[in-house]
Amino acid sequence: MCSGGGAGPTPVPGRVASARWTGRSPRLPCGKIPIWLDAGWRFNPSMHLGAYIEHGPTFVKDCPAGSSRSASDVRLGVNFLYHLVPGAPFDPWAGIGVGYEWLHASQDGVDAGLHG
C-alpha cells in the first residue's frame, strides 16, 4: 500500500492506527533508509535503560512524471530491558519501551505530516 490520497492516509505497516494526516494527503512513502542511534546504560547486571533516535530519508513511488516529491521520517524513544541471566553465554531479556514518530511528505507544494 504505497499510494494515498483523498481524506486520509493509506495504512502503512507499523504506524499508529489513531494517527491522522495534518494537511492534504500526498502520495505516501513506501520505504526508507533508517539511520539509527541507540544508547543505553546498564545500571546493574540485570537492568538496562536506553534511548534511541532515528532519521530516515524515505522513498515515494507511483507519482506522476515531472512531479516534485520528498519525504522524511523521525523517531524518538526510550526503553527498559531486564536481562534474565546476566553474564551467561545466552542472555535472554524482556523489555518495554515507548516512542514517538513524525512522518513528513511533500508533493508539488502540498505538505502533509503524520505523527503518533
Enumerate the domain spans of the chain.
Answer: 22-115
pLDDT at 11 exceeding the cut of 80: no
Q: Are 86 and 45 in contact (CB under 8 A)?
A: yes
Q: What is the DSSP string of 57-87?
A: EEEE-SPPTT--EEEEEEEEEEEEEEESSTT
What share of the chain in percent tops pLDDT 90?
41
Compute the residue count for the chain. 116
C-alpha cell belonging to residue 64: 506522476
The better pLDDT of the pair 108, 50 is held by: 50
In the chain, helix, strand, coil percent, each to 5?
Answer: 0, 55, 45
**What is the band of 65 on the pLDDT scale with cuts at 50, 70, 90?**
low
Query: How confident is the model over 83-106, as pLDDT tens digits?
Result: 999 989 999 999 999 999 988 877
pLDDT at 29 exceeding the cut of 60: yes
